[in-house]
Structure 1
Amino acid sequence: MGTRRALMSILLVTALLLSWTSSEVKADVKNETGYQEAYRPQYHFSPPKNWMNDPNGLVYYKGEYHLFYQYNPYGNQWGHMSWGHAVSKDLIRWRHLPVALKEDDLGMIFSGSVVVDKHDTSGFFGGKSGLVAIYTSAGESQQQSIAYSKDDGRTWHKYKGNPVIPNPGLKDFRDPKVFWDDQTGKWVMVLAAGDRVMFYSSTNLRNWSYMSQFGADQGAHGGVWECPELFQLPVEGHPGEKKWVLQVDINPGGIAGGSGGQYFVGEFDGKKFTTQQKGIKWVDFGKDFYATQTWSNTPGRLIWVAWMNNWQYAQDIPTSPWRGAMSFPRELSLKKVNGEYVLVQKPVQEINKLREDTRVWNNRIITPGTELLPVRGETLEIEAEFQLDTADEFGLIVRKGTKEKTIIGYNVGNQTLFVDRTQSGRTDFSKDFPVVTKAQMKPKNRVIQLHILVDRSSVEVFGNHGETVLTNQIFPDLKSQGLELYARGGNVKLQTLRIHRLKSAWQ
């Protein structure tokens, strides 16, 4: 144990020296890459260089969306976790800022959240409002700490009384998500603790009391639970009805293998969460949607984003000088489908700002085989409605090249929406990458609706207006930009097809 402590001390001192010698200027981070590398996302967020994973501290404050994220300032592999930082006025165009929180003598800065302390409950702001970050300090053990900013998130001061929640003797004890609970007049924290979550409360963000836990006999338990989230949503079409949604990620043990996310719908009484839900509800059926977090302080909207990657191969994806990207931001709602509560996700409407050309087709019969469309592109938004006919399978082929293609299809007999990336481009870096991901999805009045976002290295598929979602990375050649419709075993009617070219958010 003494040797381990000595080694950790040396590593921490080395990290601190590196951080002290790095630039401390508060100007924007210069973008030196041009954002034109082969697999560089053109409208999904990625850092200019180095490693990135979980979104952290998402908050809307004084007209800015803040995106903090797990970041290694020194390389493109996981390690030296700090909080990177970017801001946006519209969730589309991001401005990079210097690292916000760096590792210290309590350890690396793991995931966490940021809240607007509107009434200065913390006492940090002299009666005014400000931002408070609640995060995990990961050293010899995982503990919860706080920091505060008086200048709109540009500079941060770590609380001298950290940690505010010492580790109770658990190996995995991390990822605090905090919100203000109107019904109790307290701050509530949901925290990942092994294969369950714990709830704490506070009146001042400094002193926390344990309340309850959830998950011992609920949900999937194939791995460690991480990055929990608790929020309330109205139920569409049911005036006055609201439900609480508890989202929690799991690694390994996700529905598509490796990392994944599940959610529970139920009630929260200010102390404990309960659910009558049977079975497991998955957030996303693709391989690459993990560590989701909502932006706090967005009245009238609930928006989240996720790390678009999977721990099975996250450190091996063929990107440089950066590694890691975020999903496109999604607006959330809740509806009842066949008596079950379903979380609905749709791309935020701000995507309209990126549309620069739109083509529309209506009422066409797609016969067996493939039909090349007169549209090519590496950054596309596709909206399609298919009416079932005699086809056994149908869909679209995107990022088509001489030897590459990604298939987004629907199997009528199995009522399954799927994404096949086995021939999508570079797949040789991991045996877990070339797969077909799929999800059960029933037609609505014999119609299948698809909303698809295609970028240089990703495909996000929203089925039946966001009730079923699949998110997957792909790494095709830049020249693979073909787009096709296809049908097998019979005909399908294409009721409507809209294709929008999307311009880069970085230019």
Structure 2
Amino acid sequence: MTSIPTTDTAALRPVAHFTAKNSWLNDPNGLLHHDGTYHLFFQTNPHGTTWGNISWGHATSTDLVTWTEQDLAIPFTEDEMAFSGSAVVDARNTAGFAKEGETALVAIYTSAKDGSQSQSLAFSLDEGETWTRYAGNPVLDIGSAEFRDPKVFWYGGDDGHWVMVAVEAVAKKVVLYTSSDLRHWTFASDFGPAHAVGGVWECPDLFPLIVEGTTRTRWVLIVSMNPGGIAGGSGTQYFVGDFDGASFVPERLVDSNDLADFDWLDYGRDYYAAVSFNDAPDGRRLMVGWASNWDYANVTPTSPWRSSMSLVREIRLIASTDGVHRIAQRPVLPREVEGLQVFELSVPSGVGNRHAVVLSGVDEERLVITIDGDDRSISCDRTASGQIAFHESFPSVDWAPLPNGTTDSLDLLIVVDGMIVEIYAGGGLVTMTEQVFPSEPFGSLRVEPLAR
């Protein structure tokens, strides 16, 4: 089912979630901090508002909230589209692209050609303003049509090495390779299939986090999947474990057919392909996801742009009361931005309590978040949120568990930014991201007790 917007959607363009000015946008890639500037690269179609002609767009920020769109970084060519990947600061000049006094930024991306996916390089010697494809591309080709989305990072000190985390998508495997120079790669190990396997695996990430309140370090492996997510369609799961520079070993694997038994980065319909920034200052782990879902991404009713990123989120690792390590997320928010609504509240969540948190606008349009103390659940109902008929799978009621350890009350942080609603429950141990398309952005919130 398709839809052409008949009304002006400018009022729904987010102010703190990045959108491309007048084109299609999907996965974030190449997230990088260098010399005081955050670089957000992203999949884009420079010639339209649906998927195609895939290239690397580019935006920069100094505060993670206000973004300036730059010229295309890696445009598509007649025989190649530039699929998702990552970017690094080659401070040791391991690839040899920089001359004396220069520092090379190197992008590692998937070259998508007829029936083939392989990994290639592009480099910039002017702080990311312009990019040059490496003449020796591809640098890693295993003869596959489903081998993509490399996330690359440096492991160890001066005697360390580069690690590439990619996917063999249809096989539902994360594959790890190592390199000393970014040009030559050696297979190290693989992981999977495991946990949710209802769709292809995409957009992996792997990074260390110190368990909050301790000195222990664990590694987190992010795996996006489409379809088969917890809310339907696209979804992003994670595993916690150990990494020795070559292989990842999860600390727990659950033998279950119930998606609710696995760890999900977000329980909403619209959070996918999340990856983290390389070289973020002060040891922070900062992540961005694509705030959409492949079920209906090509037909969401906005113009002349389509899709946005999530807010940047700071990622922490918590040892929960049941002994399981879980991710907690908090948004990077400005003190005040015109058009951005931020609600903080506490809702009763003990046994016998059931409350609705209602975000509303005009003409009875609303998003209803229900906190059920008996079912120990959170649900998010967008079936009356505005325009919903553009795709049969859009009007949804999505479910999440109450965060582990929740007792008599649940703390909520809700961010409303045009067409995007982000919900953080229990200090961010559970999050839900939902697109909505009301006549006007939701501006009010009320809490209502519900009968059992």
- 2:71 and 2:278 map into 1 onto residues whose CA distance is 22
Q: Does 1:343 align with 2:327?
A: yes
Provide, for residues 249-307 of structure 1, a one-character-per-residue CA deviation record: whole Å limited to 9, x for no partner.
00001000000001010111111111131332111000000011111111321100011
What do residues 11-32 of structure 1 show as CA deviations (whole Å, max 9, x unaligned)? xxxxxxxxxxxxxxxxxxxxxx
CA distance in 1, matches of 2:304, 2:365: 24
Query: Which residue is equivalent to 2:212?
Result: 236
User: Could you list the per-position Cα deviations for residues 218-269 of structure 1 after superposition, in whole angstroms to 9, with x for gaps in the alignment?
Assistant: 121101000000000000122x210000001000010000000010101111
**Map 1:385-464 → 2, pairs under 5 A:** 385-388=346-349, 392-441=353-402, 442=404, 444-464=406-426
Q: Which residue does the alignment assign to 2:53?
A: 80
Shift of 1:328: 0.6
Alignment check: 8 A CA contact 1:40 1:457 kept? yes
Aligned residues between the structures: 430
User: What TM-score results when the alignment is normalised by the length of structure 2?
Assistant: 0.92
CA distance in 2, matches of 1:388, 1:336: 22
Q: In structure 1, list runs of 5 or more residues that go unmatched.
A: 1-34, 357-377, 491-507
What secondary structure does 2:71 align onto?
A: strand
> Secondary structure, in 3 states, of the residue corresponding to 1:281?
coil
- Aligned AA for 2:143? G
Question: RMSD of the TM alignment (CA)?
Answer: 1.7
Whole-Å Cα distance in 2 between the matches of residues 480 and 92 of structure 1? 20
Identity %: 43
Following superposition, the deviation at residue 409 of structure 1 comes to 2.1
Aligned residue type for 1:204: D
SS across alignment from 2:266: coil
TM-score, scaled relative to structure 1: 0.82
| Alignment of structure 1 residues 138-157 onto 2, 5 Å | 138-140=112-114, 141-157=116-132
Structure-1 separation of matches of 2:78 and 2:156: 36
Of 478-487 and 286-295, deviating more is: 478-487
Partner of residue 266, structure 1 = 241
Q: What is the CA–CA distance in structure 2 between the aligned matches of 1:220 and 1:83, rounded to whole Å?
A: 29
Residue deviations 1:418-454 (CA, integer Å, cap 9, x gap):
2110101100011111111111115534221101111
Counterpart of 1:286?
268
Instruction: Tell me the CA shift for residue 354 of structure 1.
Output: 2.3
Give the SS at the match of 1:274. strand
Please, which runs of 5 or more residues in structure 2 have no aligned partner? 1-7, 255-261
Q: Is the contact between residue 448 and residue 464 of structure 1 (CA under 8 Å) also seen in structure 2?
A: yes
How far apart, in 2, do the equivalents of 1:388 and 1:311 lie? Answer: 33
Q: Write the distance in 2 (CA, Å) between the matches of 1:170 and 1:391.
A: 54
**C-alpha contact 1:402 1:480 (8 A) present in aligned 2:** no
In 1, Cα distance between equivalents of 2:337 and 2:148: 39
Task: Flag the 1:434–1:135 CA change in 2: closer, same or farther, 3 A.
Answer: same
1:488 corresponding residue in structure 2: 450
- Once residues 382 and 332 of structure 1 are traced to their aligned partners in structure 2, the CA distance between those partners, rounded to angstroms, is 20
Provide the secondary structure at the position in 2 that maps to 1:451: strand
1:171 positional shift = 2.7
Per-residue CA deviations over 1:354-394 (Å, capped at 9, x if unaligned) read 257xxxxxxxxxxxxxxxxxxxxx63101112344675311
Contact 1:426–1:476, Cα closer than 8 Å, also in 2: yes
- Structure 2: distance between partners of 1:437 and 1:479: 21
Q: Distance in 2 between matches of 1:253 and 1:390?
A: 31
Equivalent-residue separation in structure 1 for 2:360 and 2:154 (angstroms): 44
Supply the distance in 2 between the matched residues of 1:144 and 1:230 (Cα, whole angstroms): 18
1:315 to 276, 294, 298: 298
Query: Structure 2: which amino acid aligns with 1:119?
Result: R
Write the distance in 1 (CA, Å) between the matches of 2:442 and 2:430: 27
The SS at the match of 2:163 is: strand
Residue 16 of structure 1 aligns with which residue?
Answer: none
Deviation at 1:480, TM superposition (A): 5.1
1:353 equivalent in alignment to 2:335:
yes
1:39: how far off?
2.0
SS of residue matched to 1:466: coil
Q: State the match for 1:53 in structure 2.
A: 26
Matched letter for residue 246 of structure 1: L
Q: Secondary structure at the match of 1:315?
A: helix
Deviation at 1:119, TM superposition (A): 1.1
The CA distance in 1 between the partners of 2:183 and 2:134, in whole Å, is 9
**Given residue 484 of structure 1, which amino acid in structure 2 is its aligned partner?**
R
State the distance in 1 between where 2:351 and 2:310 align: 35
**The residue matched to 1:38 in structure 2 has which SS?**
helix
Task: For 2:238 and 2:341, locate their aligned partners in 1 and report how far apart those are by CA, in whole Å.
Answer: 29
Q: 1:256 to 1:390 in 2, by over 3 A?
A: closer
**Counterpart-to-counterpart distance in 2, 1:305 and 1:282:** 15
CA distance in 2, matches of 1:489, 1:235: 40
The equivalent residue for 2:98 is 125
